[in-house]
Structure 1
Amino acid sequence: MVSRETVPVPELAARVFGDRFDLAVRFADLLIEHGVERGLIGPREVERVWDRHMLNSAVVADLLPPSVSVVDVGSGAGLPGLPMAIARPDVSITLLEPMARRVAWLTEVVEELDLDVEVVRGRAEEKAVREQLAGADVVTARAVAPLAKLAGWCLPLVRPEGQLLALKGSSAAEELERDAQAVAAVGGVNGRIVVCGEGVLEVPTTVVVVDRAPGRDGKRRRRKDRG
């Protein structure tokens, strides 16, 4: 049986998470211990929590400018939002998730780890969510939807000249070409592929980066007061 004790922590995790490595280990332990029973990850994913989920998500934080606001759409188990929040405490992160049981999980983890992260229940395409969260500097999404749908849902949350970061797999280039017109129709420009974690991860993370065109309607979201 796979447990926290039988899933080794890669040495490079300390390099990626720095002085917040212990927090990353605690989050990974929670995923390993509760992820399957709570429907957050599949049974085969437990042994790959570090390389496939924790590190795959955390390296994307390298794309974030200092002190930006981020909305993680369809956060699910907290990926990529929570590893990014651990790796980059200067960034203001909101986890957006529609399913109540997953919202409960995210809330528990944020409280357990004492992270300065907001959890919101809802869908990116909902009017109330857009009114609440529009104007983010960056919106992230991992394994949520094809790029055309994702852009339609997410770009309205992004401030003008902000970015959508969509974590994708081997189909990234194909999606970017196929959905170019749909992305442009909702204000997406300069679509490109960026690879994160080269020289660090065995399988680097592929990210489709889309800018939101300047001059579109949107309000800049106020950062939370960190005291």
Structure 2
Amino acid sequence: MSPQQVQTFFSTLRAANPRPQTELEYSSVFECLAAVLLSAQATDVGVNKATRGLFALANTPAAILALGEEGLAHEIRTVGLYRTKAKNLIATCRILLEQHGGEVPRSQEALEALPGVGRKTANVVLNVAFGEPTMAVDTHIFRVSNRTGLAPGKTPLAVEQALLKRVPNEFLVDAHHWLILHGRYVCQARKPQCERCAVHHCCDRKLET
């Protein structure tokens, strides 16, 4: 995409959805972190079903730590890889209490030091919970960036760096959400819905019928 096409691409997405939001349900920064940690290789719908019960029972690092690993695993048993996630979330809660006063840190380095939190998860938390202009490249963003010609790259990190350079500043905070939602509901993996895509005129891929 040319710079003008990139501008048009995001202007169009913004016009259709001025205030995009994550589909994960949360009511605090810690709940956001926990939900994102649980969402790896799982759907937002599935995570929300699990966290509604979990957060009603325990929604702070201390409360989740009090559940213990087995108690937490029971609450999130419907989520994929729940035993590993329970172990990581318990360890994360312990670190938050011991090293951060029970608060979620606001730095990439400190977030990535938490068990189960990689670069993508850290970027999601920084963007969603703190409003930082980060770019968390998941499978949807990776696909959309490459397929459309927006920010081609062979690795998620390469795509992240390309997006941060190519996306105009006015769109950066919300770009992560627009791209995920576009990939989830329109520019889908198996059959992209090109015929109803509002930004197909900016795309490198020819319109499919």
- Larger of the two Rg values belongs to structure: 2
Question: How does the TM-score come out when normalised to structure 2?
Answer: 0.28
More strand by share: 1
Higher relative contact order (CA 8 A, sep 6+): 2
More helix by share: 2
Question: How does the TM-score come out when normalised to structure 1?
Answer: 0.26
